[in-house]
Amino acid sequence: MGKPMGFMEYDRRDNLAVEPLERIKNFKEFHTPMSDKDRREQAARCMNCGVPFCQSGMMIGGMVSGCPLNNLVPEWNDLLYRGNMEKALGMLKQTNNFPEFTSRVCPALCEAACTCGLNDTPVTCKANENAIIEYGYANGLLEANPPKVRTGKKVAIVGSGPSGLAAADQLNKRGHEVTVYERNDHIGGLLMYGIPNMKLEKWVIDRKQKVMEEEGVKFIVNANVGKDIKAEELLKNFDSVILCCGASNPRDIKAPGREAEGIYFAVDFLTRSTKHVLSGKKEGWVDTKGKNVVVIGGGDTGNDCVGTAIRQGARSVVQVEMMPKLPDERAVNNPWPEWPRVCKTDYGQEEAIAVFGKDPRVYQSTVKEFITDKNGKLSKIKLVKLEPKKDEKTGRMNMVELPGSEYEIPAEICLIAAGFLGTEEYIAKAFRVKLNERTNVATEAGKHQTSVDKVFTAGDMHRGQSLVVWGIHEGRHVAREVDERLMGYSNLA
């Protein structure tokens, strides 16, 4: 521990963000890195506490506390403080294949569990991680390093999201020949098209892809396995197949008028927007300029829709949330180091407040009806207020409609960001893998082997909709399991 009293000497400071009214003029990342001196001071706040919950990744109170990758946070914070960046980078890469992604899009479970946050503010672990990985790229420390020996074993990975990329990276380092199939025109899965540019500029993905290709990973895009490419072909030509296709079956809103023109699933909207940002072409683009936009769903994807619509010049944005507003501070029944169940105002909501003068979120509400004009286009949405009510049979609290509380709001565009329901049916049928009751691919607890010989699964397709950091965790674990099957043992972490 380089600075025993650092947490008392220095206050938390984060990278400066461009002001909302300025940053909405483009789709670029909007945080400015601080100086090396200031960043080292932030690293000095790490206490080297007796029990580093930041790296635990354990379940507490039904939620994960700390990093699921068990990142060696105190170790690389100390090395960052001391200025030993090369060793800090090596320590970071031991547990995380893609700090360039997580340091931009992860909600920082490590910070929520930071001991410093019990009585003060947590260490800036996420920004420290970003400083370390970007130092590595800037100083030529992350150039391609292909394996010196190949095993002769071939692995196909279907899907190039975080889990597929992590599995590919690990298995390639082991010496296996890895081919990744991606149905879109770019790799990355939701990293590419589900997360907008202002959170993750796509050159970051391209940069990592280039390194992985130079190390021997083969990427095949525009390859829809299960439709354009038969599952039997992969099973015949590869020693193992890993399905990392995501939980890409969106949850719909079944309300009268759903067939109206102007209603889109959030990921479709974000995908089209990102393709427009990258190419400048407007084919298929959903333009919200001058329109009243309603976003259904209060999670990260809903917030991304808010930020995207504002950048496009929406006339108004309303975000509908079914659940009550969370408290602004931890409740008594939500103590540290549990994940804080508190109201978070994210960048999209900040921008809406700056543009429209109020928070876009409407709580305890849901859609009662989609109302169209005479041409079948969406013109209004009828909302109804909800109230929590205890089910006498199950004892569970349910959100039920409040009689007589219906009201209408203008809406020419509606974006459904209500989450995902699991695996898409066609890919499961193509490989004949069994699904569980949540429509995720079924495996034994703690395992990744499916019901079909030599077919494995990982990521959201395995555990359900989750975070990028969990995708990387899953990819690393399935890689070890596949490696053990192929070689009889594994030395992968």
Is 263:292 a contact under the CB 8 Å cutoff? no
- DSSP symbols for 242-292: EE---S--BPP---TTTT-BTEEEHHHHHHHHHHHHHH---TT----BTSE
Q: What contacts 24, CB < 8 A, 6 or more positions away?
A: 307, 310, 311, 351, 354, 355
Residue 29: pLDDT over 90: yes
Radius of gyration of the chain from its Cα atoms, rounded to whole angstroms? 23
Q: What is the mean pLDDT of residues 25-38?
A: 97
pLDDT band at residue 246, thresholds of 50, 70 and 90?
Answer: very high
The mean-pLDDT minimum among 185-194, 293-302, 384-393 falls in: 384-393
Mean pLDDT of 229-252: 96
Question: Residue 193: in which H helix or E strand, if any?
Answer: helix 190-193
Q: What is the mean pLDDT of residues 317-344?
A: 95
The pLDDT tens digits of the residues spanning 384-443 come to 999 999 888 888 889 999 999 999 999 999 999 999 988 999 999 999 999 999 999 999
Measure the CA–CA gap between 147 and 176, rounded to whole angstroms. Answer: 9
Structure confidence at residue 247 (pLDDT): 92
How high is the pLDDT of residue 56?
93
Report the CATH number of the 6-138 domain.
1.10.1060.10
At 5 the pLDDT is 87
Residue spans of beta strands (DSSP E) within 285-424? 292-296, 316-320, 361-362, 365-372, 378-390, 397-401, 407-410, 413-416
- State residue 437's pLDDT score: 93
Q: Considering only CA atoms, which of 474, 348, 473, 326 is closest in space to residue 417? A: 348
Domains 154-248+421-487 and 263-416 share a fold: yes
Provide the residue ranges of all domains of the chain, joining segments of one domain with +: 6-138, 154-248+421-487, 263-416
pTM: 0.96
- In the structure, what pLDDT confidence band is assigned to residue 224 with cuts at 50, 70 and 90? very high
Tokens describing residue 343: 């109201």
Predicted confidence at residue 121, as pLDDT, reads 94
Confidence (pLDDT) at 1 = 61
> CATH assignment of 263-416?
3.50.50.60
Confidence at residue 406, expressed as pLDDT on a 0 to 100 scale: 97
Q: Mean pLDDT across the stretch 146-155?
A: 98
| Mean pLDDT taken over the chain | 96
User: What pLDDT sits at residue 412?
Assistant: 98
Class of domain 154-248+421-487: alpha beta
83-100 average pLDDT score: 98
Query: 347-401: per-residue pLDDT in tens?
Result: 999 999 999 999 999 999 999 999 999 999 999 999 999 999 988 888 888 999 9
Contact 159, 243 (CB under 8 A): yes
